[in-house]
Homo-oligomer: A and B are copies of this chain.
Amino acid sequence: MTESENEIKDTGLRGVKVASTRISHVAGSEGKLIYRGYLIEDLAKNATFEEVCYLMLYEKLPGRKELEDFDRELKRRRGIDPQMLAALKTRPADSLPMDILQGGIAFLANHHPHPALLTRGNELDNGLALIAKMPTLMAAYDRIRNGKDPVDPNPDLGHAANFLYMLTGKIPDPEIERMFDICLVLHAEHSFNASTFTARQIASTKAHMYASISGAVGSLSGELHGGANERVMKMLLEIGSVDAIDDYIRKKFESDGKIMGMGHSVYKTKDPRAKILEPMVQKMGERTGDPSWYEIAITLEKKALAAFEEKGKTGIYANVDFYSGAVYYLMKIPVDLFTPVFALSRISGWIAHVIEEQFAEAAPKAMLYRPSADYVGEYCGPAECSFVPMDKR
């Protein structure tokens, strides 16, 4: 196994198949993303986030009655305990929202009667609680840090509209609601990405759902992962106008040569989610009378792609983070909530993966993830060091 070891070391496990999964498939060379058999384009066009959550957890699209029941189960779990709100009120106003979410999810376990009961049914219950409560938690913190009272969940609203309502206190118009819903559908799942692998890895030790998902949120917070959508928006704000794009690209190519939100480790075509998000930025620009962000983004993408090709780097297209930030920005979602919003969607995939890791017969994991490493700490040559007493150091 020596040769494969050498191939694997320091590659971040890229291309290494660590398990089987029935959850999703990213066909990178064809630019296809498939959730449990269904193409992302079909789901974005026809399904709500609730239907996608059902598909993730029960492996089929729900019938009308099934969806009604599922919706009711989610709605009755939306509220968070007053003691949870009290905990959020202790948090400094300049806390990073992803830290609040990571800590808050671990603390949500404290309000479940038996969070660590590792049955499939209980883990599903934990998972439903998280889908339902994470938006309430995040919206409540955003209001608290702004000196406002949290807004209770509204059972007349669907999942997407309810989050925007709890954030702003206003019921969003149906077109905004549907666009936000589509954003949630697009971000729901993406195979063994870093945060999902974190969730599975934690779950593989037989830790419970809250522990696994809290860890996944930590992983998503990194700028190389979910933190990218926030950074794309900051980049667009920094560029500020179409005229400044050439200069920006030139400077970036002189420094680290990276453009935020361009390129993907799996897709070798344009990210299929970016294709759906791009016209949404345009539409939001028209609605709000502010087409500038669409113009900057679309021009930046074209010029950056060309600049990469000039350097011999082909296939550096826009990814999902490139356009989602601008959509959220035009919806007036605070920039530092973009990555938490990503988490509010990806939770559906994470839960499916935790349950697959712990219970699925189709894709059983033999044991916890415990890789090896190559010890290169030759502090005293190949032999161990002799202990040196304090007085002789």
Contacts and interface: CB of A to CB of B under 8 A. Distances in A.
Interface in A222-270: 222-225, 227, 265
A87 B87 CA distance: 5
Contact of A215 (B36, B219, B364): B219
Contacts of A216: 215
Interface in A335-393: 362-380, 384-391, 393
Contacts of A1: 4, 7, 15
Copies of this protein in the assembly total: 2
Contact of A393 (B61, B87, B110): B61
B18 A210 contact: no
A138 interface: no
Contact of A227 (B206, B210, B214): B206
A87 B107 CA distance: 10
Interface string A192-208: 11110110011111111
Contact of A201 (B102, B201, B204, B214): B201
Contacts of A204: 12, 194, 222, 224
A14 B56 CA distance: 29
A18 B22 contact: no
A204 to B, nearest CB: 7
A194 B368 contact: yes
Nearest to A393: B63
Interface stretch (A90-98, A271-279, A307-315, A321-329): A90-98
18 contacts: A3-B4, A10-B20, A12-B369, A13-B372, A14-B370, A17-B371, A19-B374, A21-B374, A36-B377, A37-B384, A38-B387, A42-B386, A83-B92, A96-B116, A198-B202, A211-B219, A211-B221, A212-B218
7 smallest beta-carbon distances between A and B, as pairs: A205-B222, A37-B379, A103-B106, A215-B215, A4-B4, A211-B218, A22-B377
Interface of A: 1, 3-5, 7-25, 32, 34, 36-39, 42-43, 45-47, 59-64, 67, 83-84, 86-87, 90-92, 95-96, 98-100, 102-107, 109-111, 115-116, 191-195, 197-198, 201-208, 210-212, 214-225, 227, 265, 362-380, 384-391, 393
